[in-house]
């Protein structure tokens, strides 16, 4: 195989031009056949609903090269189901599961030379998205939609990889509210999070940790990931109607149970920060990222002494990544090999 001439071991988490993307249109009540193209740009009407009324949703998943040279995706079907949930909440036309999965496989096949080598620490990040493209000036759902999938090789989301990061509890800005669309991957949720994240990074933190919008008492999630903590061999993660349904979090909860840990998915009071032994962030991009310390008001709670992730966080990370990269058996049926 003619692999792309890239320094895969030192890739940033950033867009890199690849060979092709896949586009499927919803017009006149039906989805079109997929179109594979090398064109990176879109031509859209200036009155497209996605620009003015925010009908824009996306997903993120990864493909990995296995030790045997084949390529596999991780839990793509769950991404398809989550995108359907997002579409239904934003009154968009849901992408059929098989259309989603077919487009993902096509984009991996078309960009095979950009899949990082096994054990390089990098992966092929796959970004499916859907936007409303009808021209409207009244507030209403789009009639026509574009579903598109592109891919790009990436390194770790946090520059240092599996190295503990610092978080800042955000007490003034809300990412999402109960009854809203915080549990979807709506583009607007991320726009709403930028002012808090950018401000935190200027203070030397990697991300913010949001509290619930109603009481400012319970932990929701970070700006880019779900949150978890460990205490007394119990994996604890927030349950909230305003946080994203993380596929990585669901996977890690299953691994934690199989490792003999207790698992609690429940409201997590911010006062509990003082009692946790380990903490981390979970998501497709971040995978599992250990948290070194969390600042809440005038207090700082430290979870990774000497910059070392805790033993349970480390074990969960090693188990998850071994399955994702094909180094360990996949007893859950989470991975799917992409045909050559």
Write down which residue in 134, 154, 174 finishes a domain.
Answer: 154
Give the residue carrying structure tokens 């096509």. Answer: 106
Active site residue 185: yes
Catalytic residue among 17, 89, 140, 185: 185
| Same domain (yes/no): 145, 242 | no
- Residue 338 in domain: no
- Residue 159 in domain: no
pLDDT by residue for the chain (340 residues), tens digit each?
A: 799 999 999 999 999 999 999 999 999 999 999 999 999 999 999 999 999 999 999 999 999 999 999 999 999 999 999 999 999 999 999 999 999 999 999 999 999 999 999 999 999 999 999 999 999 999 999 999 999 999 999 999 887 778 999 999 999 999 898 999 999 999 999 999 999 999 999 999 999 999 999 999 999 999 889 999 999 999 999 999 999 999 999 999 999 999 999 999 999 999 999 999 999 999 999 899 999 999 999 999 999 988 899 999 999 999 999 999 999 999 999 999 999 8
| Same domain (yes/no): 136, 250 | no
- Residue 335 in domain: no
| Same domain (yes/no): 90, 198 | no
Phi–psi pair at 134, nearest 5 degrees? -70, 145
What is the pLDDT at residue 161? 76
Write down which residue in 154, 173, 202 finishes a domain.
Answer: 154
H or E segment to which residue 229 belongs: strand 226-231
Identify the CA nearest to 242 among candidates 271, 265, 219.
219
| Same domain (yes/no): 31, 62 | yes
Q: How many independent structural domains does the chain possess?
A: 2
| Same domain (yes/no): 289, 257 | yes
What is the pLDDT at residue 242? 94
pTM of the prediction? 0.96
Range of the domain at 236: 165-324
In angstroms, rounded to a whole number, what is the distance separating the alpha carbons of residues 84 and 303?
37
| Same domain (yes/no): 216, 268 | yes
What is the pLDDT at residue 306? 83
Structure token digits, residue 225: 């990931």
Write down which residue in 123, 154, 185 finishes a domain.
Answer: 154
| Same domain (yes/no): 208, 285 | yes
Of the chain, the end-to-end C-alpha distance in Å amounts to: 11
Q: What is the DSSP string of 240-292?
A: -TTS---HHHHHHHHHHHHTT-EEEEE--BGGGGGG-SEEEEEETTTEEEEEE
The three-state secondary structure class of 127 is strand
| Same domain (yes/no): 211, 85 | no
């Amino acid at each position: 195989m003619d692999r792309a001439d890239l320094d895969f071991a030192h890739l940033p988490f950033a867009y890199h031009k690849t060979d092709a993307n896949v586009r499927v249109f919803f017009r006149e009540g039906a989805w079109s056949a997929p179109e594979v193209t090398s064109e990176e740009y879109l031509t859209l009407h200036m009155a497209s609903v996605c620009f003015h009324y925010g009908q824009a949703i996306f997903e993120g998943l990864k493909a990995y090269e296995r030790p045997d040279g084949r390529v596999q995706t991780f839990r793509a079907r769950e991404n398809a189901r989550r995108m359907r949930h997002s579409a239904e909440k934003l009154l968009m036309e849901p992408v059929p599961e098989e259309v989603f999965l077919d487009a993902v496989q096509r984009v991996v096949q078309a960009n095979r030379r950009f899949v990082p080598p096994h054990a390089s620490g990098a992966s092929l990040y796959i970004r499916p998205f859907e936007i409303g493209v009808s021209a409207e000036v009244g507030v209403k759902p789009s009639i026509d939609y574009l579903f598109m999938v592109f891919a790009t090789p990436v390194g770790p989301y946090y520059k240092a990889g599996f190295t503990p990061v610092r978080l800042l509890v955000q007490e003034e800005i809300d990412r999402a509210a109960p009854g809203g669309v915080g549990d979807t991957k709506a583009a607007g949720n991320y726009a709403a999070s930028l002012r808090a994240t950018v401000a935190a990074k200027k203070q030397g933190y990697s991300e913010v940790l949001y509290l619930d919008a109603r009481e400012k008492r319970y932990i929701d999630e970070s700006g880019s990931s779900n949150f978890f903590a460990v205490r007394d061999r119990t994996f604890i993660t927030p349950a909230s109607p305003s946080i994203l349904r993380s596929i990585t979090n669901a996977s890690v909860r299953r691994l934690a149970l199989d490792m003999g840990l207790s698992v609690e998915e429940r409201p997590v009071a911010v006062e509990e920060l003082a009692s946790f032994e380990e903490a981390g962030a979970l998501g497709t991009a971040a995978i599992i990222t250990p948290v070194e310390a969390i600042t809440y008001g005038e207090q700082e709670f430290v979870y990774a002494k000497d910059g070392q992730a805790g033993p349970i966080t480390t074990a969960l990370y090693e188990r998850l990544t071994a399955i994702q990269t094909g180094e360990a058996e996949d007893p859950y049926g989470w991975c799917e090999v992409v045909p050559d």
